[in-house]
A = this chain, B = another copy of it.
Amino acid sequence: MRLRMQIGYDGTDFAGWASQPGQRTVCGVLEETLSTVLREPITLTVAGRTDAGVHATGQVAHFDVAAATLEARSIDGDPGRLVRRLAKMLPVDVRVKDIEEAPTEFDARFSALRRHYEYRLADDPWGAEPVSARTTAAWSRPLNADLLEEASAVLLGLNDFAAFCRRRDGATTVRELQDFRWMRDDFGVLVAQVSADAFCWSMVRSLVGAVATVGEGRRSVQWCAGLLQQRSRSSEVPVAPACGLSLIGVDYPADNNLAQRNSITRETRAAIDPNGCCGD
């Protein structure tokens, strides 16, 4: 039986999503807790393998477990029981918010149509509001929101984002950037919504770093547009701090289109990137 989970975490004290020996990772903590509760080894597949310090409110992962195991643990028929049991065991910086049965074709990574990220950037001279400092990056110079918007708009569409990606051998850096908008919230923090079919490693933080360089007046919008012509990572693009970034949601097709979506993803992307592209 395949179960799909919605997950939130404060990434501050995690060495990212992916399990690494000797490190505290989100995947490591979740797999360990699930394995304890279900009394069998659980392996998670995730929609977006976030880096160290990156947060999530809408991460999605799936795992397989025998129906008999759920029955033996008295959580068959009501995944909400597993949610409550995990809530008692997990540390406060990671939560499983929802668990539901999914079709066996559902794959948290390969079935995903779209990933949505949010980036929070404070340009006040005094830095970020302390109550949200863990999820807000501070930019030391004032940023012009109109310039941020302009620079972001030129990056939209199906492009080669090589200038914004840490390269993996043979991996494609062509992605479709579907949304990249900025607004100031009630506290004056600049909040970006960034959506794409998938992201390469460090891509969202590099996009933010590039347009912030325009927003502070150091570079032109034309410079930003020109980055799309480059075929390798640009040293002119700063990578914005991890703490400002949160994965806020992942879109999936309806159940009857899962198999088709999985094969498209595998063909266009994973075939040439056997180890998977960090970030997703």
**A133 / chain B contacts, CB cutoff of 8 Å:** 10, 92-93
Indicate whether A129 reaches chain B with its CB closer than 8 angstroms.
Answer: yes
Give the residue of B96, B128, B135 whose beta carbon is less than 8 angstroms from that of A131: B135
Contact status of A126 and B92, CB under 8 A, knowing A55-B131, A57-B131, A246-B131: no
Bound complex: CA A245 to CA B246 (Å): 24
Indicate whether A8 reaches chain B with its CB closer than 8 angstroms.
Answer: yes
Q: Which A residues, 51 to 96, have Cβ-Cβ distances below 8 Å to chain B?
A: 55, 57, 80, 83-84, 86-87, 92-96
0/1 per residue, A1-41, Cβ < 8 Å to B? Answer: 00000001110000000000000000000000000000000
Q: Which A residues, 104 to 153, have Cβ-Cβ distances below 8 Å to chain B?
A: 124-131, 133-135
CB distance from A278 to the nearest CB of B (A): 21
Give the residue of B80, B87, B124 whose beta carbon is less than 8 angstroms from that of A127: B87
Give the residue of B86, B92, B130 whose beta carbon is less than 8 angstroms from that of A130: B92
Contact status of A130 and B80, CB under 8 A, knowing A87-B125, A97-B124, A125-B87: no
Bound complex: CA A213 to CA B57 (Å): 29
